[in-house]
Amino acid sequence: MNKFLKTLMVIAGLFALPGAVFATEIPIPNQSEWAAAKKTVELKNGVKMAYNEMGDTSGKPLLLIHGLTDNSRTWSLMVPFLKGKYHIYAIDLRGHGMTSAPECCYTISDFAYDAKLFLDAMNIDKADVVGHSLGSFTTQGLAARYPEKVNKVVLVSTAITGGSGPGGWLWDNVMPVKEPFDPNSKFMMEWYWSPKPVDQTFIKHMREESAAVPLHVWKGAVYDVDGGTLAHKTSLITAPTMIFWGDQDPLMNAAAQEPLKKAFPKARYEVFPGFGHNMFWEDPQRAASLIDDFLK
């Protein structure tokens, strides 16, 4: 065997070694590919977590955490606009998407602990974290309880209280339900309402996947998060913080913003005038640009 062939065999063997690490660019799936592109990992607490891995494997770790009854697809419109060098992990929280749905429990502490265990499972010492809505509460919980795992945080459509509890719109629409949600029902149409146009193929997937979330997950998360508060723990968050708010957001409305600003007086605060709760669907390019600028 000549030296050239021997060299090729050595190189091939290196790529086959389990411990060998080579930088690669993991492509971003399109809407039809998104669910099938998910990977899974079993966390130390038994939760089998699904996630999409994307971007430059030699880049900075970036953890993306979705909102209530969404899943990792929520970031699919925005991530193509990210220009920074990131190794992106977009997770499905417990009970959401393709992650396992234990009977209990669905508190912010549970979601935050899962996120911490996911970073451990991926051998990530520290990550930048972007969280939307429930994901923003999870991000606050992660940054407060496990500050050693967090570099910078971006809180999208956030607050320091989860909602109004009994008597509120979300509680009164979810807690009495006894059958799985119809993705085309009035409630689901309102749940995915945006004041600006959003890609309809994406929204169709989101409604269908949200309606498929088990009722015990909907109710468990609403019961434990809606009406809850993070006000007594925000002082534990030391990570540099940026906040996005759409001024047409019916869930995290204007009244929720002053307490939020007082809780995070040093945060960079970005308003999206005329946009709603999901402004990073409505204007994914601006959201990505702001994140790039903040994390660079």
Residues marked as catalytic: 133, 277
What secondary structure, in 3-state letters, does the chain show? CCHHHHHHHHHHHHHHCCCCCCCCEECCCCCCCCHHHCEEEECCCCCEEEEEEEEECCCEEEEEECCCCCCHHHHCCCHHHCCCCEEEEEECCCCCCCCCCCCCCCCHHHHHHHHHHHHHHCCCCCEEEEEECHHHHHHHHHHHHCHHHEEEEEEECCCCECCCCCCCHHHHHHCCCCCCCCCCCHHHHHHCCCCCCCCHHHHHHHHHHHHCCCHHHHHHHHHHHCCCECCCCHHHCCCCEEEEEECCCCCCCHHHHHHHHHHCCCCEEEEECCCCCCHHHHCHHHHHHHHHHHHC
Q: What are phi and psi of 230, to 5 degrees?
A: -110, 5
CA-nearest of 16, 152, 156, 17 to 86 is 152
